[in-house]
């Protein structure tokens, strides 16, 4: 049955016509004629456009000459003219004014055959920087109230030339469509005290069913009340109302996002025509608490007809949940994508280490980040952790972690260490603010270690949800986080946030297993049905290390030799038979070495430094 959906920002209704539901192949492909020669946007034809306003290219290049890579010129056939004043007048009840404004074209590349998504990251950043620079410059003109940046790709979307370009128009008033968004967002803010776009982001990242992709800085969603099939919104994950206030680092992330989402769209819909628009705050009313700048990307694959024009309703034949699924899957078919990896561990350099575990977790997570993956690390905030290490910042939320029948309040700190790797630190002073990591300085283990690391394991997953980081893989290390794979397959089994999450568990030292009385199961809120010899039970006790082995999709250890040794009765410490049963999923991978830190050529602790070339 068709479904009516209301846009939460402006109140517009759309019809999701499930009875007309169309898959990607159900839309006709509209091809453009790329042979418009001579193209006025190509190098060598600079005289065919008005004189350039801005250009990126080699230093020393003469204006309006070849050699540029991105070029901004006034539109030769402008919708509005920049010269003059408004000259408002009226006739009866009708208002008029002169067509004052600015209309500029951003020629995104010198290459006639390439589109925005085919450019490298730095070149896309130049395009974004040109939008920002022109907004900042035109903002100085008191006659203008708003600047709209937009892109028409393909003749069906309104592009008269095939050469990759976008446009901006400065207007002497705020457009009605933007006013509707501003008004709806302001009304919500007055009622709730929160930005509605931030709330939409939070809700979408919680459910994930309309999320196309997400990174540290941006989320891409198919909006709940999508007007068009495969419509997407790109929203900053940090609150900001002004596009032009974005940093270079944020532009780099946005460049990567634009390349990815347009690539997905091309893969799913066979290079469709599309429009995208940048909605930012009005020029004279910036830094708004209630508004959130964003990009709306709309493929032009259906026709707007009489009902839509007359009623203001849009009829969308593809539910946004279905569109998001196709778009998410597109990346797997098209190219190798970054993997979102969540490390769960009790220690990691440069924060805390008592031995090899901390070294491996710190070095491996950093190496995976350098390889292009999105990696986060969760560990406890022990006493004195901030001294001499990365600076910590308190995140603006508190978690309630279930422990047995009660809840433990937990604060979360964030730290960034090389190379732009994020760590989340679980702050529960009653459990982690004490002398020692696992026990008292004299060597006696803390009596509440079971509760301490139940808390950590549960916090790992709750933090991921709170910050909107949906991992492809959770990598848990040693007994202290052995319950994480168990929780994923029991307590969080029906949670859509972790629907596609796999788990890896690594044994660093099989001698330390985290064995506790069976009553610990209640504190972990794990069902008693899991207390069996095939899962959690270990000689009528609960074994945290065994939990990791039983529930993880894949098990690894520190070397191929150790993987074989731990399957022997004399070395497996009671778990050899269990590991033999999982031998097909058990891999020994030789631990790597952080050669920057463990380098005798620069080690300050050596009496005499040396290298392979200099003894």
Q: At what angle do helices 248-269 and 121-138 cross, to 10 degrees?
A: 120
Give residues with Cβ within 8 angstroms of 21, minimum separation 6.
317, 318, 319, 322
CA distance 479 to 351: 19
Question: Which of 165, 279, 477, 508 is an active site residue?
Answer: 165
Measured CA distances, 553 to 329, 470, 572, 591, 595 (Å): 21, 17, 20, 20, 30
Alpha helices in 86-227 (DSSP H): 121-138, 176-192, 196-207
- Secondary structure (DSSP) of 3-18: EEEE-TTT--EEEE-G
- Distance separating the N- and C-terminal Cα atoms of the chain: 79
Q: Nearest 5°: CA angle at 15, between 10 and 21?
A: 135
37: how many CB neighbours lie within 10 A of its CB?
8
Among 579, 581, 586, 594, CA closest to 560 = 586
CA distance 131 to 143: 19
The question of whether 335 is a catalytic residue gets the answer: no
105 is written with which tokens?
A: 């074209």
Among 567, 562, 532, 568, CA closest to 550 = 532
Among 64, 284, 62, 324, CA closest to 182 = 284
Q: Residue 89: beta bridge partners?
A: 96
Q: Is the dihedral of CA 518, 522, 526, 529 positive or negative?
A: positive
Say which DSSP state 517 is in.
Answer: E
- The answer to whether residues 425 and 435 touch, using CB atoms and an 8 Å cutoff, is no
Q: Residue 150: beta bridge partners?
A: 167, 277
CA distance 235 to 294: 5
Among 430, 391, 387, 389, CA closest to 407 = 430
Alpha helices in 416-501 (DSSP H): 429-432, 449-467, 483-489
514: how many CB neighbours lie within 10 A of its CB?
24
CA distance 116 to 166: 10
Cα radius of gyration rounded to whole Å, the chain: 29
CA distance 535 to 496: 24
> Could you give the maximum distance between any two Cα atoms of the chain, in Å?
99
CA distance 530 to 453: 19
CA distance 268 to 333: 10
Q: Which residues of 171-189 are buried (b: 16+ CB within 10 A; e: fewer)?
A: bbebeeebeebbebbeebb
Helix (H) or strand (E) holding 333: helix 320-334
Q: Which residues are part of the catalytic machinery?
A: 165
């Amino acid at each position: 049955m068709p479904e009516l959906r209301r846009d939460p920002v402006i109140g517009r209704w759309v019809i999701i016509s499930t009875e007309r539901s169309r898959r990607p192949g159900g839309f006709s492909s509209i091809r453009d004629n790329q042979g418009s020669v001579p193209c006025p946007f190509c190098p060598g034809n600079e005289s065919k456009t008005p004189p350039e306003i801005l250009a990126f290219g080699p230093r020393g290049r003469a204006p309006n000459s070849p050699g540029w890579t991105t070029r901004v010129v006034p539109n030769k056939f402008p919708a509005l003219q920049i010269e003059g004043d408004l000259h408002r007048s009226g006739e009866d009840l009708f208002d008029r004014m002169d067509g004052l404004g600015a209309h500029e074209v951003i020629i995104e590349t010198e290459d006639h055959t390439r589109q925005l998504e085919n450019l490298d990251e730095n070149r896309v950043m130049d395009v974004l920087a040109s939008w920002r620079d022109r907004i900042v410059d035109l903002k100085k003109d008191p006659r203008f109230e708003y600047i709209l940046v937009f892109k028409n790709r393909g003749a069906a979307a309104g592009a008269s030339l095939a050469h990759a370009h976008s446009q901006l128009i400065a207007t002497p008033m705020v457009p009605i469509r933007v006013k509707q968004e501003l008004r709806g967002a302001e009304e919500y803010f007055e009622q709730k005290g929160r930005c509605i776009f931030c709330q939409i982001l939070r809700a979408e990242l919680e459910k994930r069913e309309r999320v196309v992709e997400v990174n540290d800085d941006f989320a891409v969603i198919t909006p709940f009340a999508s007007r068009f099939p495969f419509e997407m919104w790109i929203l900053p994950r940090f609150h900001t109302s002004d596009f032009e206030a974005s940093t270079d680092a944020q532009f780099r992330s946005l460049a990567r996002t634009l390349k990815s989402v347009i690539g997905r769209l091309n893969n799913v819909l066979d290079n469709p025509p599309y429009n995208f628009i940048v909605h930012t705050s009005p020029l004279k009313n910036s830094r708004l608490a209630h508004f959130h700048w964003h990009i709306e990307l709309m493929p032009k694959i259906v026709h707007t007809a009489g009902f839509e024009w007359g009623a203001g309703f849009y009829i969308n034949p593809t539910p946004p949940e279905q569109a998001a699924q196709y778009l998410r899957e597109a990346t797997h078919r098209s190219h190798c994508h970054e993997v979102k990896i969540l490390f769960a561990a009790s220690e990691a350099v440069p924060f805390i280490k008592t031995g090899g575990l901390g070294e491996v977790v710190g070095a491996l997570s950093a190496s995976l980040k350098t390889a292009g993956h999105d990696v986060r690390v969760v560990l406890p905030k022990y006493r004195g952790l901030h001294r001499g290490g990365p600076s910590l910042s308190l995140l603006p939320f508190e978690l309630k972690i279930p422990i047995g029948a009660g809840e433990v309040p937990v604060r979360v700190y964030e730290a960034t260490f090389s190379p732009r790797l994020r760590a989340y630190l679980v702050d529960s002073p009653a459990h982690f603010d004490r002398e020692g990591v696992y026990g008292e300085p004299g060597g006696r283990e803390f009596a509440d270690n079971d509760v301490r690391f139940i808390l950590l394991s549960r916090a790992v997953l709750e933090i991921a949800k709170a910050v909107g980081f949906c991992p492809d893989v959770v990598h848990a290390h040693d007994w202290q986080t052995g319950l994480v794979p168990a929780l994923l397959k029991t307590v969080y089994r029906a949670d859509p946030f972790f629907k596609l999450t796999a788990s890896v568990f690594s044994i660093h030292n099989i001698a330390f297993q985290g064995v506790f009385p069976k009553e610990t199961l209640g504190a972990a809120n794990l069902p008693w049905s899991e207390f069996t010899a095939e899962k959690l039970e270990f000689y009528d006790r609960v074994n945290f290390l065994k939990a990791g082995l039983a529930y993880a999709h894949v098990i690894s250890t520190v070397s191929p030799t150790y993987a074989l040794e731990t399957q022997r009765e004399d070395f497996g410490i009671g778990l050899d038979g269990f590991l033999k049963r999982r031998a097909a999923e058990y891999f020994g991978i030789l631990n790597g070495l952080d050669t920057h830190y463990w380098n005798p050529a620069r080690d300050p602790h050596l009496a005499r430094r040396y290298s392979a070339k200099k003894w």
